[in-house]
Amino acid sequence: MNTAEHIVNLFEKSIELKRKSIVLAPVIAEAAALLTASLVRGNKILICGNGGSAADAQHMAAELVNRFESERPGLAAIALTTDSSALTSIGNDSGFERVFARQVEAIGRTGDVLVAITTSGESANLRAAVATARDRGIAVVALTGRDGGAIGRLCGAEDCEIRVPGHNTARIQEVHLLVVHALCASIDAAFAADPRTT
């Protein structure tokens, strides 16, 4: 297989998993409604992930704070991946497993929503953040893959797990980005349609 054929194969695998993931539309809509309701109440969205998922967390926060595709007021969203002083302080004093949970403890309030992005569902620091959120009455939207892992099992009836039906990390991440965009588009539409949100 030459380079061009390999690239075509990557596109085809991405398209295939996105087609399989269309079944997630109802739970994505449910998650969008949960996020929108939190923002309308004046609460905030906290977002976390590791590696490529950290980039997705920052991407989502930027789309909400600034704008996605429509003009609307800025929305309260914080990527818990961006404060290097907090991350290194918490990591040094309490361990890497606590880098997100400690931030949820500090700034999370009942009515907020935590978005946890993980392809495996097994990251210890995300598990700790989800457990802390649930203890504080903060709903969780988990973007997972594979079998959902420990994070999928932590999610309760008031949470939304968006589990991509794939096993390849890169392909799951590609669907996660599409899910982030779908959530942002749905939030945009809700704020455009409801005069209470402007």
Segment 41-92, tens digit of pLDDT:
999 999 999 999 999 999 999 999 999 998 899 999 999 999 999 999 999 9
Angstrom CA distances, 121 to 66, 132, 143, 161, 162, stand at: 29, 16, 8, 10, 11
Query: Would you say the C-alpha torsion 7, 9, 12, 13 has a positive or negative sign?
Result: negative
* CATH number reported for the structural domain that contains residue 35 in this entry: 3.40.50.10490
Section 107-130 average pLDDT: 98
Write out the residue range of the structural domain in which residue 53 sits. 3-197
Each residue of 177-197: pLDDT tens digit? 999 999 999 999 999 876 455
Whole-model pTM: value is 0.95
Each residue of 124-152: pLDDT tens digit? 999 999 999 999 999 999 999 999 999 99
Q: Judge contact between 131 and 101, C-beta under 8 A.
A: yes
List the single range of 2-6, 106-110, 189-193 with lowest mean pLDDT: 189-193
Would you state the pLDDT for residue 194? 63
Q: Domain tally for the chain?
A: 1
Report d(CA 2, CA 189) in Å as an integer: 43
Q: Is the pLDDT of residue 159 over 80?
A: yes
The residues that bridge with 77 in the sheet, in sequence order, are 45
Whole-number mean pLDDT of the chain? Answer: 96
Q: Is the pLDDT of residue 12 over 90?
A: yes
**3-state SS, one letter per residue, for the chain:** CCHHHHHHHHHHHHHHHHHHHHHHHHHHHHHHHHHHHHHHCCCCEEEEECCHHHHHHHHHHHHHHCCCCCCCCCCCEEECCCCHHHHHHHHHHHCHHHCCHHHHHHHCCCCCEEEEECCCCCCHHHHHHHHHHHHCCCEEEEEEECCCHHHHHHCCCCCEEEEECCCCHHHHHHHHHHHHHHHHHHHHHHHHHCHHHC
Q: Judge contact between 126 and 150, C-beta under 8 A.
A: no
Would you state the pLDDT for residue 102? 98
Would you state the pLDDT for residue 27? 98
